Structures are given as C-alpha cells and as structure tokens.
Structure 1
C-alpha cells in the first residue's frame, strides 16, 4: 500500500485533521441520533398513561429502569473493548454493534397491540439489544479517533472536541425529530426514526471506511502488537510509568462518577420537572418537554469551538486535564443552583420559568465540555497501547456506575423532594471540584510527561 499514512488511509486532511476523523464523526453522529432519540422518549413513554400508548409506570419505577438501562449501556463497552482488542478488531465491532442496535430500536417500534406481543416484553428485548450493540460500538469508535494521531500529536484534544460535536449534532436533531414524531404519530414512530438513524451510521461506515480509514481498526490491536514485537506483548508486565498513568485514569474516573451522577438527571428528573412543573408557554406555543433534551447538544455545538479555541490560544498556560475536570464539577454545581431557583419559584408561583432549565443546561454543558472530551482524549493518551480499547471500556464503566446512581438519586425525589436532591448535587459538585484542584499537581506528576507542556498548578491558579 503506497499511502502516506501509517494505517493505509488516503492521507487527505480537512481543516487540519485527517479525513478519517470526519468519517468517524458522521458515523457517531447517526449512532448518537439513534441513542438520544430513544433516551429523550424513554422516561416519558414509561410514565405516559396506557390509554395514550404509554406503559403507565410510576415516576420512581421509570427513573430506576432508566438508571439501570443507561448504566448497562456503559458497562458492556468493557467486554466490547476486550473483544475488539483481542479478536474482532475495532472496525468489525462497530458494524456488528450498529446492526444489533438498529434491531433494538426496531423492536421498540413494534406496536404491541397489533403485533400480539406484550408491550413490556418488547421493551426489555429492545433495550437488551441496544445494551449489547452499544458495548461493541462505543469504546471502539473512540479508540479509532485516537488511532488517527501519532503519540504526542498536539491535535488529539482538538480532534476529540470535533468528534464530540458530531455526537451532539446527532443528539440535537434527535430530541426534536423523535419528540415531534412521537407527539404526532405515537411513541412507536419516535423509536422507528431512531432505528433508521442507526442504519445510516452503519451504511456510512460500510461505504466510506475502506477509503478514509485504510486498515485502521481492521486487525485486533493486541494481535498486531504481538506480531510487531515478535513476542507476546500482552504478557509483558506493566512498567512503573504505565502503572502511574493507569492510576491517573482511575482517580479521575472516580470524579467522573460524581459528575455524571448529577449530569444525567437531565434525561430523568429534569425531564420530568420540565414536563410537570415548568411553564412551557412561549408566545402562545407550548414547548414539548422532550425539546429541552436538545438544549445540551445545542450549547455544545455553540461552545465547543469557543472552548477548543481558548485551549489552543492559552498554549503553555492551558490547564491540565485534572484542572479542567475540577472546573467541570464546579460548573455542574452552579447548574444545580439554577434548579434550586426553579424549585423556589415553583413553590411560590405554582410553576417555574423555562429560563431556570435553560441556565441549568448551559452550566452543565460547560462542565461537560471541560470533562468529557478531555477524559476521552486523556484515556487514549495514558493507556498502554495493548490495552487501549479495554481502558476505554473501563472509563465507560465509571460512567455506567454514575448512570445507575443517577437513576437511584432521581428516584429519591418522591421521599426527599426536588429541593434536597438538586441542593445535594450542587454542594457535592462544587466540593468535589475544589478537592480535585488540591490534588491536580500530583496527578500531573503521575502522567510522566503526557501533559508536561502544562504550567504547574500553582501558577495556573494564580493566573486564573
């Protein structure tokens, strides 16, 4: 293969990044469209009355299932990552996972009345297929983004921010399209649209990958490492440096749990708050509750380029990953201060202004951008090569636990009340962020030069 890139890609660049990045961006865009379309509808579908086509569950039951489902979605990538590293290869994993997920969405779209199947059976089969397919898809597309860049390539953080934008364009249109379809034609139509989005992702990957990705992700990485070094690399013990770097991933993983357990209230408790306690009238038009799910991706699309630009303009003064994580947690806390405002207004006026929710989603999004793409990039930077997809899977496992906790926390609202749930998350977020600022310098030391160009923590804090 006489191509200019190490992976046999066609070597073409677009806006300073390999063309393959935009292919992975498009695949992920449609996969996330599919996932978020379903996520925007799930709790509302479960709690809708049976006569309106819903399942008539209580809010507590719906939020618990939501927590278990979104939790499992982030657990299965550990197995999917290991399968890809050792046997399937990332490319094949993405295609198989994509097809299984499309099948899951189509099962959810089957109308139980006319098909003779029980609605709850269809629900569990559909969600089960989504969980399995997602496990094969999710860790491998992220590691392939990292695989487009050589070790030490300074464009990697920026690449993950661009990739993250793809995720959120998909999420933005999904809430509006699926919400409108469900409103006009029933819940099944919303799930059907999600399945079509998933098939588009698979089609894009099948048609364009050979040209723009070459052989990236075709051979399982553990097998390739073993072949290149002519001995079983997988048996080589980890060096002290590799162990320290894995420690950083694990410590930041714990703070990631804190962040997502709060953030994921957006699809559960805050979705129900928008539905039941928010004045959604705007110039005579009632804004559908599912549309609020599009605020987060909308803000990401607006803020991503601004933040990516800010990091590159700061050059040597750019904060280290642990400091960015700390900011993320503090912004999460500020977002929940807005939700406290919403509860106070609702208690006095009967319903809360939409602007409280808009404010909360804005600060949550700022926090997410300081933490999520930075985390993905950091895992590809710090993981030993032979464990790339496995470590990405482990990273998603932290998020899994957070999603499960989010469902549990959200379901407490019946006993504790919205004020104590929102207030508790606000305090935890800010305190977690401050704690991480204290230890950030030590974590950078453990990275052993992966982020050596960053200014020391004390100068960052003074300059901020």
Structure 2
C-alpha cells in the first residue's frame, strides 16, 4: 500500500490517525516524565526526591532534553539506511518503555543504586527517542504524494494528537505524583509508552501497508535506478539552505519556549500563588496549559490560514510571528517578576503564567507544525529522516541553552532573564522578516508554485559542497 492507495477518513489517509495515536501516547510518556523531572530532582521531602539544588537540576534538565533532540540525527540515518522507519519506531519505543519503568523502580528495590538507576533510565530514554522521534514525523509526510495540499493540515492534526497526549500527561502524572510520590508519575509515563507500542504493533500492517518498511535510501535507489549517494541538484541544495537558516531561528525560539519545563516550572512551584479558593493547583498542572491551548487554538488557526487564501503568509513570516508571540509571553513573565518587586517571599499571580503559556502556544503553532511540514516538502527523499533529525538537532542546542539560561536565575534574577528572552526573540523576529524573501526564493516553489517545484526533477545534479 502506498500513499495514493490509502483509504481515507475525514478527508485524510487512515494512516494519519494511526500515527497520530502512536505519537499521542509516546508524547504522553515524554511529557509525563518532563512535568515532574525537575520537581523530582529538587524535592527534599519524604516523597522520594533526590534533593538537588535548582541549578544542578536545571543543568541536568538542559543536558537531557538537549540529547533527546540530538540523537534523532543518528536515528534518522539508521532508519534511512538500515532499519526503515517502522522498525525504528518499534525498537525506539521499546527502549523508551524500559527507560520509564527503570525510573519508576521503587527506592527500596534499587537502594543504594538509586542515582545509577536514574541515569540508566535516562540513557534508555535518550537512545530510544533518537530512533522514534524523527521517523514517526517523516512517515506522516510519506502518506501524501508530492504537491498534495493536505499535508500542512495533516501535520496540524498530527500536532493536535501530540498535544492531547501532553495535556493528559501533566494532569495524570502530576496528580499521581502528588498523591503517591514521584515514582508513580514515572510509572504513568511507562504505561503510556506501552500503549504507543501496542497501537503500532497491532494496527500498522493493516493500515499503513508497506509505508515506512523499506529504508529510504534503498527506496530511492529502486525508484531512480541510482545509488543513494547521487549528488544533490541545485534546487535541492537551495532547499537545504532554507532548512539550515530556519534551524538557527528555531534554536532561539525553543531556548525561550523550553523554560516551561525548567525555570517556569520552578517559578510556578516556588514563586506563584496557586490557590483557587481553598484548593492549591499542583505546579505540574501548568504543564498542561500549553497542550490545552493548542487543542483549542490549532483548528481556529488552521481555518484562519485557509481563509487568507493567496494572502497566507510564507513559512518564514509565520516563524517571525512565532518569535513575536514568544516575546509577548515573556513580557507576561516580566509582569510576574515586577509584581514580586524583587522580594522572592512575595507570590506572583498565576494568571501571569496563564498569559505566558497562551502567547507561547500561539508562537508554537506558527512554528512547530509548519516546520515539520516544511521538512517533508524541502528534504530529498533519500535524506528525509536524516533532515528531520537535523531539524530536531536545533531543538537539542536550544534545550541545552534553555537549561544553561535557567540555571543562572539565582545570579541574574527572574526579571533579567525573562526580559532578556523577550528582547532577543523580538529582534530575531525582525531579522526573519528582513530575510524572508530570499528564503522563499530558495524554496523554489515548494510552498505553492508547482512549475518551480518541478524544476527539481529536471535540474542537472551538481556536486554537493
């Protein structure tokens, strides 16, 4: 079964909804663990935390999330050349399940090796994610033939599935951790990963057919009669330039956005008034604001883009809008810090955080699903998973930078950090607007001009630099 033979549901191939369900539970697993990781590391109570300092916890958080987004480059290469996307997803998912259940092992079972078991669990998660993450996204693109204008909409649906998993993760893992300890939260993450594996193993052959089984390099060789090391055409090289340039701005965006799991997580726990009447909102619940807003706003934004028609902004302009929304979100956090007035004993209103997550979500919707779709439009088939992994590599750098920035909150103070991110992201947005015309030229019609797009099929190859 190939893309053109896929049976449809709601105007899209049924395979999209299978991949959406697979990714939903994998993201539930990832975000359940992310919602409590820093809180677990810094907890000094009988709940079973490790009692680390905030700086040490945020440094580890930055290293872990950085590696999570770095290993997809290797995972994409393995899938393109050896395993294929489907097998890579299964192997990666199994490794991540092992990692989550390792983190969930009771302290009484692993004493005195609790810290060593913690690092082993993280290692399994990092390696497994490298195989899983780039290939599930790439397979969404393979469901559609070249030029199919449903692709952007498909990634919006896919992205909503991701965030439904994230929404459930913060609520379920946060509640379980509050009542039964941190290990219960990690156990929830492990169960979610098993659900993802079961869905893929039971339904993939029936719904996806042959999609994702054959390694991309081998598929390219069979289709063209050439080897996978065929030189890139000029159009392909220009399109890869766009990916590289856009990746640089992605680093800036995610370095600010990923404060959600680190500095903003700590801020909600220690410096935010979380009382609603007599009920104290668990800090981990704030991690569910972003996916909740995405589920609400994504269909509205999709309709908005469609109604703009020919006036719909290009991907670089959408990225610039994302930078602007990120800046507005941190303006809200500046408001929270100013309400404290430099007195850490004063609690800021939780509504500043709600506003920040709202604007950050708008920014994410202008950047993340658009970027995933753009990779499947611009990357050559034989390099598809590798380039998807490279795209996530920008997130790796961003997450390390995010952890580094957040870890210095004790030195610079929240006001300086929040304000600095707001200014930096605003400047980045302006730079993107200035270079957007050149970036669109380098796309050679990938976003609408079919004639230019067809040039890539006839362009004579040139040796890649």
Same fold (TM over 0.5): yes
Unaligned runs of 5+ residues in structure 1 are 455-464
2:82 maps to which residue?
Answer: 87
Please tell me whether residue 374 in structure 1 is matched to residue 373 in structure 2: no
**CA-to-partner distance for each residue in 1:91-128, whole Å, 9 max, x for gaps?**
00000100000000000000122333422111100010
- Match 1:294 to one of 266, 285, 288: 288
2:460 maps to which residue?
Answer: none
Instruction: Give the superposition deviation at 1:90.
Output: 0.2
CA distance in 2 between partners of 1:452 and 1:168 (Å): 28
Please tell me whether residue 334 in structure 1 is matched to residue 328 in structure 2: yes
Please tell me whether residue 36 in structure 1 is matched to residue 63 in structure 2: no
1:23 maps to which residue?
Answer: 18
CA distance in 2 between partners of 1:348 and 1:442 (Å): 45
2:302 maps to which residue?
Answer: 308
RMSD: 1.3
CA distance in 2 between partners of 1:448 and 1:88 (Å): 32
**CA-to-partner distance for each residue in 1:399-458, whole Å, 9 max, x for gaps?**
10000100000001011111100000000011100110111011000000112459xxxx
CA distance in 2 between partners of 1:201 and 1:213 (Å): 16
1:360 maps to which residue?
Answer: 356
CA distance in 2 between partners of 1:149 and 1:307 (Å): 22
Please tell me whether residue 420 in structure 1 is matched to residue 416 in structure 2: yes
1:134 maps to which residue?
Answer: 129
Where do 1:23-422 residues align within 5 Å?
23-49=18-44, 51-232=46-227, 234-347=228-341, 350-422=346-418
Contact 2:29–2:192 (Cα < 8 Å) also in 1 = yes
CA distance in 2 between partners of 1:105 and 1:256 (Å): 28
Secondary structure (helix, strand or coil) at the match of 2:46 reads helix
Number of corresponding residues: 448
Contact 1:8–1:214 (Cα < 8 Å) also in 2 = no
CA distance in 1 between partners of 2:326 and 2:129 (Å): 26
Contact 2:27–2:165 (Cα < 8 Å) also in 1 = yes
Please tell me whether residue 13 in structure 1 is matched to residue 16 in structure 2: no
1:459 maps to which residue?
Answer: none
2:463 maps to which residue?
Answer: none
Contact 1:379–1:391 (Cα < 8 Å) also in 2 = yes
Contact 1:179–1:291 (Cα < 8 Å) also in 2 = yes
Contact 2:22–2:200 (Cα < 8 Å) also in 1 = yes
TM (norm. structure 2) is 0.95
Unaligned runs of 5+ residues in structure 2 are 451-465
Contact 1:20–1:212 (Cα < 8 Å) also in 2 = yes
CA distance in 1 between partners of 2:3 and 2:310 (Å): 31
Secondary structure (helix, strand or coil) at the match of 2:149 reads coil
Contact 1:7–1:214 (Cα < 8 Å) also in 2 = no
